[in-house]
Amino acid sequence: MEFIELIELCKYYTIGEYRIIAVDDISQHFDKNDVVHIQGMSGAGKTTLLNLIASLDKPTSGEVIIDGIHISLMKEDALASWRATNVGFIFQSFNLISTLTGRENIIFPALCWEPNSPEIGAKVEELLELVGMADRADHLPVQLSAGEQQRIAIARALVNDPGVIVADEPTANLDAKNAADILDLFENITRSGEKTIIVASHDERFGDIATKRFVMDAGRLIEL
């Protein structure tokens, strides 16, 4: 059974007299444990597609179904709750809270939705070990390198144990060594199983760990 289904998915933006087609009639499915790599030029629609899959944006038409749930039809309050525990986000710009330490940035999403869980502390320490940041956990983002900030961001994306991980250019702001380290970390995450990972990236090395590879061009998704 498909874990993620995209059915005739479209997203248009209207600016004055012009209609910009960001996602153009995409029908595709991804299975549980798939690692999906999407390449494409800037402006091809990759980020818009990720936002639709992650429920950060609503389609103009078509549907997104995840694990049998029609998320594109959900009301916003229910959607926010669903998203918080089912989707992990990894951004190009890290998006860490500047006044919180690395550890606090990781724990923050969990506290929002499971404030009384006795397992949160242990889970955060486990994730800090996984991403190699146990010895830097009490530093603020400004005290961390770009690669270290992305490691914290990856741990934050995993803290609620989501079934879907969406990553938008996760190595774009990193030097070659840090990018290679993040790729290794993604490979470790894929081996743990039970997650569908969708990565939009110009970095062709993600293709080495992908189970499905695509190019996005003018809003269309083309399988390689």
Name the residue ranges covered by the structural domains of the chain: 4-223
- Which amino acid, residue 214? F
pLDDT band at 40 (very low <50, low <70, confident <90, very high): very high
Q: Looking at residue 194, what DSSP letter applies?
A: S
Considering all CA atoms of the chain, what is the largest pairwise distance in Å, rounded to the nearest integer?
55
Residue 117: what pLDDT? 65
Minimum mean pLDDT range among 98-102, 153-157, 178-182, 216-220: 178-182
CATH of domain 4-223: 3.40.50.300
The pTM of this model reads 0.88
- What does the block give as tokens for 118? 């006795």
Residue 113: what pLDDT? 64
* Mean pLDDT confidence for 39-57: 92
- Which amino acid, residue 12? Y
Spatial contact of 155 and 94, defined as CB atoms under 8 Å apart: no
Spatial contact of 157 and 85, defined as CB atoms under 8 Å apart: no
139/131 Cα distance (integer angstroms) = 15
pLDDT of residue 115 exceeding 60, the answer is: no
